[in-house]
Amino acid sequence: MAASATRPSAAPAAAASAPQRVDGMHARNAVVRAAITSLVLVILLLYLMPLGYSIATSLKSKEQVSDVNAPILPSAPERFEFEGETYDVYRVPTEEGEQRWALVTPGRNSSMFVDTQNPDAGLFEWEGRWRTLAPAYRLAFQWSNYQRAYEFIDFIRLLGFTLMYAGITTIAATASAAIVAYGFARFKFPFRNVLFIVLISTIILPPQVTLVPTYAFFFQLGWVGTWLPLIVPQFFSNAYNVFLLRQYFMTIPTSMEEAARIDGAGPIRTFVSVILPQAVPALIAVSLFHFFFAWNDFFGPLIYLAGNADINPLAVGLFRFNGLYSSEPQLIQAASILTMIIPLLIFFFAQRFFMQGIVLTGDK
Amino acid sequence: MAFLDEIQRARSEKAPREKLGRMARWEARWGYAFIALWMVGFSLWYLIPMAASLVFSLFDFELTNLSAARFVGLGNWRRLLFEDPLVWQSLRVTFTFALISLPVGMVSAFFLAVLLNSKHLIAANLFRTLFYAPAMVPAVAGVLIWSGVLDPTTGWINRLIAFVFQVDVVGPNGIRWLADPVLVYIAYTLIGLWGIGNAILYNLASLQGVPTELYEAADIDGAGWWRKLTSITVPMVSPVIFYNLVLGVIALLQFFVTPYVLTGGSGFPQGQTYYYMIHFFKQAFGFLNMGYGATIAWFMFLIALGITVLLFGTAKYWVYYAAERR
């Protein structure tokens, strides 16, 4: 992208030395580029607008959130200190444009103001009803919302459980999927095709159809109310991850494996020291997918941890927080932002692997 | 595409049946050893539960009181099909929403991918990353953000509409996106647009695989932008559209987080957000009707299976697979 963005040919068409026709094409290209890029930019701004709303709201005071006439950015009413007292500042229309004046002595039809730009000029009278004036605001960020949300939601505890769940199951899911994928990618055995179809069919199977008996099973084991029902099944590989890793393994040339085999390495050794090191990008992609899945998982923790709110992950904690503090939108938004920071940061740093992984599932 | 193709391809392959030699037996043993983990997991978490789920659907029981379990035969199925109006109401809600939300989501994903694939776009990689970013926002947080932005008084959607069209839609007489029985479908569709990141990337990957000769040939023939789009791009990308459609339908049958976070499963307004999955959740985990819950889940499976078979059946009429892949 950098190369095309800085291409000198996009320079203004006014360059008289170039032949006319080429000149016109460059000009046209530049217009098309500007048009398409601005169109995409506008769509992007609309698409990300809710995020902007969330950030802005999370930094507002409760009063500002409920005031329809307040500015959309986090602000506080402007105040002005004059001779030891603080006064509200209003936006007063005058012949020289709008002025920011502090209201010192309100009156019915005329009031005493002081100019915030020039307080030394002292008090002066303004004819008009001060109640019709719009209050002046200045930008003010309520960072304390984040602190309150952090404390109310018990962020550290929820984060700990979320990280525990995401961490353990990411390792378990990736490792088990790699083992199974290697079996499907490199060994011939009877019914391999049938078994592989069965495996990938489970990707489109609605998980609810197995949920009730699975829940009953864990209930009989006494595991409902603990993390075990959410963690243990991840040790048995998951169809989506197996599929992705198998696709990747099949692109790795077999020559190194054959060499290792001639040197006397068994299949396990070959898998660990030849295949895995060559599959690092795919392993990272699968780990990221699973990590985000676990971070996001709501339904599983909701039903399995139902009676045990003390060990909830962030997703469920945020849901309960919303139920308790629905009258304080600024805290809800601050808490929402808190839960998304870590996945978004990881995404931005690891996006190369991530995007490649998605493309891999889409490729043949 | 991808794993769906795999199903279609493998159906036509015949496994050779020969007696296994010593080497082949060794290989088969290792193969089974590597996939053993999955075979155990498949039995434990898919095969046995699916069968058990079917058996459960013949009983009326609560988990906490197993001794009181009662065999009711097809009673649960009769209740589901004939005596429980909420089943049909929730299916109506689910499919109405699917008919709005799926086309909007799929068309948006396709056109965004076309734009992001444009050779005229400056800083394309940055745009791709930013368009994907909302898909990374945890679902509950995303729904809460949207519920704020759609708020009639303080949300930015109404303020934006008021600003652009100069109409009074903010405050007490503002547009009540989440409380109006018709608009709520639009609102949920908008929320769903934050989940199309993957679909955009699949479309994008597929667009990049379209051979440029096709467009060059079309240029020589004097084809315009729209003609190239409908005659080259759409057919070439149709496997991805098919894939997104199948996954989209199945995901919508399980649509849960958005209505549950916004309404707690109440169906507000007027039952219009009472989705099938909400009904399942309430019966199985709210009222702890495990037998009836299993029946609802099995019915969902049958519907998903039916739709998948139907879609695969129609695929040959509109999904184009390049010649070498057949």
Assign B3 a pLDDT band (cuts: 50, 70, 90). low
CB pair distance less than 8 Å for B300 and A209 = yes
- The arithmetic mean of pLDDT across residues A144-149, rounded, is 94
Searching chain A, which residue's CA lies closest to the CA of residue B145? A54
Counted across chains A and B, CB pairs separated by less than 8 A come out at 303
pLDDT per position as a tens digit, A253-301:
888 888 988 888 899 999 999 999 999 989 999 999 999 999 999 999 9
Please, what sign has the CA dihedral across residues A269, A274, A280, A283? Answer: negative
User: Quick check: A133 pLDDT over 80?
Assistant: yes
Taking the CB of residue A40, how many other CB atoms lie within 10 A of it? 22
pLDDT per position as a tens digit, B78-101:
999 999 999 999 999 999 999 999
pLDDT per position as a tens digit, B20-73:
688 888 999 999 999 999 999 999 999 999 999 999 999 998 887 777 788 998
Give the angle A230-A234-A239 at the CA atoms, nearest 5°: 125
With residues binned 3-state (H G I as helix, E B as strand, rest as coil), the percentages for chain B, rounded to 5, are 70, 5, 25
Q: Which of A154, A153, A322 is nearest to B141 (CA)?
A: A322
For B45, the closest of A37, A193, A236 (CB atoms) is: A236
CB pair distance less than 8 Å for B301 and A191 = no
Burial label, B189 (beta-carbon count in 10 A; 0-12, 13-18, 19+)? middle
- The arithmetic mean of pLDDT across residues A90-114, rounded, is 86
Question: Which pLDDT value is given to residue A22?
Answer: 64
pLDDT per position as a tens digit, B115-145:
999 989 999 999 999 999 999 999 999 999 9
Question: Which pLDDT value is given to residue A320?
Answer: 93
Q: Which of A240, A202, A276 is nearest to A362 (CA)?
A: A240
Assign A6 a pLDDT band (cuts: 50, 70, 90). very low
Highest mean pLDDT among A159-163, A216-220, A360-364: A159-163
Distance in angstroms (rounded) separating the CA atoms of residues A198 and A203: 9
* A344, B133 Cβ separation under 8 angstroms: yes
Distance in angstroms (rounded) separating the CA atoms of residues A336 and A51: 10
Token pair of B56 as six digits: 């459960």
For A209, the closest of B125, B131, B301 (CB atoms) is: B301
Q: Which residues of A touch B141 (CB under 8 A)?
A: 318, 336-337, 339-340
Q: Which of A220-229, B149-158, B166-175 has the lowest mean pLDDT?
A: B166-175
Q: What percent of chain B has pLDDT over 90?
A: 68
Searching chain A, which residue's CA lies closest to the CA of residue B23? A188
Taking the CB of residue A70, how many other CB atoms lie within 10 A of it? 19
Q: Which residues of A touch B280 (CB under 8 A)?
A: 208
Please, what sign has the CA dihedral across residues A125, A128, A131, A136? Answer: negative
Question: Which pLDDT value is given to residue A13?
Answer: 41
Q: Which of B84, B293, B79 is nearest to A211 (CA)?
A: B293
Return the residue matching tokens 């019966």: B283
For A315, the closest of B33, B140, B205 (CB atoms) is: B140
Residue spans of beta strands (DSSP E) within chain A: 75-77, 79-82, 85-94, 97-105, 110-115, 124-127, 134-135, 137-139
Q: Which residues of B touch A188 (CB under 8 A)?
A: 24, 27-28, 31
Q: How far apart, in Å, do the first and last CA atoms of chain A sit?
A: 27
CB pair distance less than 8 Å for A296 and B264 = no
Interface predicted TM-score (ipTM): 0.88
